Amino acid sequence: MRAFFLTLVVGSGSLGACRSRAPAPEPAFVDEIRLLNSELERRFRTGDLLGVADLYADDAVLMGPGGFRIEGREAIDAYWSRISDPLDWRLEIFEIGGSNETAYELGRSHLTVNPDGAPETSVVDFLVLWKREEGALRVGLDLYWEAQAPQR
């Protein structure tokens, strides 16, 4: 009986220790960014490319390889509208940080278009800076480059 009691007490202590090491809940803005990513993917898959652009701030900057840079609502709308035959978009999140007002996201984008019935996938790594405007997070800076293999 005494061995059973000691096992129960020691076991209970171990369980309590495990519970106290549980990770802290993520800030609300992290969940918000995850939902926004899902919405970006959904809009792309349904061909709502101006809907994708709508999630960017009016003064957003989009930068890519080779000095590619566009800025502002008209340029962002035109950039997304030029994509033909959208098929699929998958955003992998590596890290989200910052605050409720200004946050960053590091990840990898797998964007597939289907011109002429031959799917083509672009894979890039990205850094997005999110900023809050009128209560909603919007993309303020979208910086992307050719995806790199993980360092080992």
pLDDT at 31: 96
Domain boundaries, the chain: 26-146
**pTM of the predicted protein model:** 0.81
Q: Are 33 and 130 in contact (CB under 8 A)?
A: yes
Q: Are 104 and 25 in contact (CB under 8 A)?
A: no
CA distances from residue 40 to 34, 50, 91 in whole angstroms, order as listed? 10, 11, 9
In this prediction, residues 70-74 reach a mean pLDDT of 98
In this prediction, residues 60-66 reach a mean pLDDT of 97
Q: What is the CATH number of domain 26-146?
A: 3.10.450.50
> pLDDT by residue (tens digit) across 12-43?
444 444 455 666 668 899 999 999 999 999 99
Q: Mean pLDDT of all residues in the chain?
A: 87
What six digits make up the tokens of 100? 């409720």
Listed range (19-28, 92-101, 136-145) with the worst mean pLDDT: 19-28
In this prediction, residues 32-61 reach a mean pLDDT of 98
> pLDDT by residue (tens digit) across 99-129?
999 999 999 999 999 988 899 999 999 999 9
**Residue 150 predicted with pLDDT over 50:** yes
**Residue 2 predicted with pLDDT over 60:** no
Task: Using DSSP, state whether 26 is helix, strand or coil.
Answer: coil
